[in-house]
Structure 1
Amino acid sequence: MPNTNTNRRYSVGAMIFHWTIAIAVIVNWRIAEAAHHAQGADRGAIFANHKALGILILALTLGRLAWRWTHPVPPLPSDLARWEQVLARVVHVIFYVLLIALPLGAWIANSLTGREIDMFGLFTIPPLPIGKNDALGSALFSAHGTGGSIFIYLIGLHILGALKHTFFDRNGGIFRMLPFGKV
């Protein structure tokens, strides 16, 4: 179905979801890095925050997807080369896959190792009823770490693309996702 949206900027709701999730992902990456360098009880406490923020990112992502399905996105700038259009679409699809798969995979891994998820001391999310399997849980945690690393590299690519379109192509790329600036 062709995009019939003639607005060149994303909706305010999409902007709020985008920047909230973006900040949460970067903060969660830094929390995970801090946890890897911590020892003992400190490590567990830091990872507890990483897990809780991951579940919050999952909820925000589901909200963003619902928003996206009910609010048309602006078309890509007409001056993009075909390969840039394809790359932009592929990276966005991978973002959504990772934003859902990483928290779900971690929840499954926690469940397989018999752990609940403490949501910042407000409530806990119990393990899924899938039985205990420490080896599989460990493998999923490892895959989660690899997926997180891939995600960070893709975020870097996304940022570089936005900067390229804004400052070299001068098509206002980054301002499509900001409420100010010239698109």
Structure 2
Amino acid sequence: MALHWLLAIGVIAQWRLAVAGENAASEAAGREIMGNHFSLGVVVLLLALARLAWRLVQPNPPLASHLAGWERWLARATHTLFYVLLIAMPLAGWYAMSKYGNGVDVFGVVSLPALPVASDPEGAGRIFELHAAAGVALLVVTAIHVLGTLKHTLVDRDGNLFRMLPFGRPKA
């Protein structure tokens, strides 16, 4: 549960940092903001890997029996896409930075070295374009996830939301 909410906060912060970095008043300010974006990306990657490891040893509770087939499929698809995107996006960012010849500084605490790849600024730019497209896909998947939660809370009133909240009790 904690990993879920930390990842949710991380994704929202990443989105806002990316937008702020792209719209910064100066190039220096943009670099500083994007430095925080890169740092938080490493944290998101570690959280996503921790959540995936947790899921491998502690499987999700079964989906509610009243769910329609399409709801079950959509729930599994969105969760799979979350893992794929939350792992692939930070790795792609690190790979692109490496193609510029740069590592990733993580909040001044640790620095990930550049990956051993050939310098290719043009290729790095293309990777960052894919990274941005994946960011849009992540926002779409997040919106679908939130809409599903709202449906279960406001329409079905099945208490499904309480499975992921630290307070309250699921409907019996």
TM-score, with length taken from structure 1: 0.90
Q: Is the 8 A contact 1:163 1:173 kept in 2?
A: no
Q: Percent identity?
A: 46
Determine which of 1, 4, 7 is the counterpart of 1:21: 7
Q: Distance in 1 between matches of 2:166 and 2:23?
A: 38
Hey, which bits of structure 1, 4+ residues long, moved more than 3 A? none
String of CA shifts for 1:1-32, please: whole Å, max 9, x gaps: xxxxxxxxxxxxxx011000110110111011
Determine which of 124, 128, 136 is the counterpart of 1:137: 124
Q: Distance in 2 between matches of 1:176 and 1:40?
A: 44
String of CA shifts for 1:37-91, please: whole Å, max 9, x gaps: 0121100000000001001100111111111111121111111110010011011
User: Equivalences for 1:102-113 in 2 at 5 Å?
Assistant: 102-113=89-100
Counterpart position of 1:78: 65
Counterpart position of 1:41: 28
User: Equivalences for 1:139-154 in 2 at 5 Å?
Assistant: 139-154=126-141
Q: Distance in 2 between matches of 1:141 and 1:69?
A: 30
Q: Distance in 2 between matches of 1:21 and 1:125?
A: 21
Q: Distance in 2 between matches of 1:173 and 1:35?
A: 36
Shift in Å, 1:158: 0.4
Q: Is the 8 A contact 1:166 1:173 kept in 2?
A: yes
Q: Is the 8 A contact 1:117 1:127 kept in 2?
A: yes
Segment of structure 1 superposing worse, 77-86 or 114-123: 114-123
Counterpart position of 1:65: 52
Q: Distance in 2 between matches of 1:41 and 1:61?
A: 30
Counterpart position of 2:104: 117
Counterpart position of 1:4: none
Shift in Å, 1:170: 0.9
Shift in Å, 1:123: 2.2
Shift in Å, 1:114: 1.0
Counterpart position of 1:55: 42
Counterpart position of 2:76: 89
- Root-mean-square deviation (Å): 0.9
Q: Is the 8 A contact 1:109 1:137 kept in 2?
A: yes
For the residue of structure 1 that corresponds to 2:105, the secondary structure is: strand
Aligned positions, number: 169
Q: Is the 8 A contact 1:117 1:124 kept in 2?
A: yes
String of CA shifts for 1:147-168, please: whole Å, max 9, x gaps: 0011011101101101110111
